[in-house]
Amino acid sequence: MKQNIHPDYKKVVFMDINTGFKFLTGSTKYSNETIEWEDGNSYPLIKVEVSSDSHPFYTGRQKFANAEGRVARFNKKYGIK
């Protein structure tokens, strides 16, 4: 593997700006903004708009579309059996 071509992989804190939910994980992203985590260390803070705490699929608020197929909808609309 070539040396010095990969980005630095560090621990960062991602924060959902809608709910305030925060989690610590590894990432190659970097931010000048930092936050002190529960372990007393300071980590870069990355703000995101959607996380598992606010995404409709994970929170159970997702609305499922009708799974009826195109042909069935056409037949239903035009009365063909």
Nearest CA to 48 out of 69, 60, 61, 31 is that of 31
Tally the domains of the chain.
1
Contact between 30 and 9 (Cβ < 8 Å): no
Q: Is residue 80 part of a domain?
A: no
The rounded Cα 60 to chain-centroid distance in angstroms is: 15
Q: Is residue 81 part of a domain?
A: no
Rounded to an integer, what distance in angstroms lies between the CA atom of residue 58 and that of residue 51?
A: 9
Q: Over range 36-63, report the average pLDDT.
A: 81
**Whole domain around residue 31: which residue ranges?**
1-62
Indicate whether this model's pTM tops 0.75: no
Taking only the tens place, the pLDDT of each residue in 7-39 is 889 999 999 988 889 999 999 998 999 999 999
Q: What would the two tokens of residue 65 be?
A: 């579309």
